[in-house]
Amino acid sequence: MIVDTHVHVWALDERHRPAPDAKVAAPTEADPVEWLVDDMGEYGIDRCVLVQSSAFGWDNTYMVECLERYPGLFKAIGLVDPLSTTNADDLRRWMGRGLSGFRFHPLYYPDEGCWVDSPAHDALWDAAAETGAILQFHLWPRHAVPLARMIARHPNVRVIVDHLGKPDVTETAPYPSFRPVMELARFPLVWVKIGDYQIASKEAFPWRDTIPFVAALKEAFGARRMVWGTGYAGRARLVPLEQALRYVREELPCLTRDDVDRILGETPRELFGF
pLDDT tens column, 88-138: 999 999 999 999 999 999 999 987 668 999 999 999 999 999 999 999 999
Q: What is the pLDDT of residues 25-42, one digit of tens each?
A: 999 999 999 999 999 999
Residue 14: which residues within 8 A CB-CB, separation 6 or more?
Answer: none
CATH number of the domain to which 136 belongs: 3.20.20.140
Q: Which domain holds residue 123?
A: 3-272
pLDDT single digits (tens) 129-172: 999 999 999 999 999 999 999 999 999 999 999 999 999 999 99
- What residues have CB less than 8 Å from 84, skipping those under 6 apart? 58, 90
Q: What pLDDT score does 247 carry?
A: 98
At residue 101, the 3 state secondary structure works out as strand
pLDDT class of 191 with cuts at 50, 70, 90: very high
| Host H or E run for residue 69 | helix 61-69
User: Does residue 69 register a pLDDT over 70?
Assistant: yes
Give the pLDDT confidence score for residue 112 in this predicted structure.
Answer: 62
Residues of the chain above pLDDT 90, percent:
97
Domain count, the chain: 1
- Confidence (pTM): 0.97
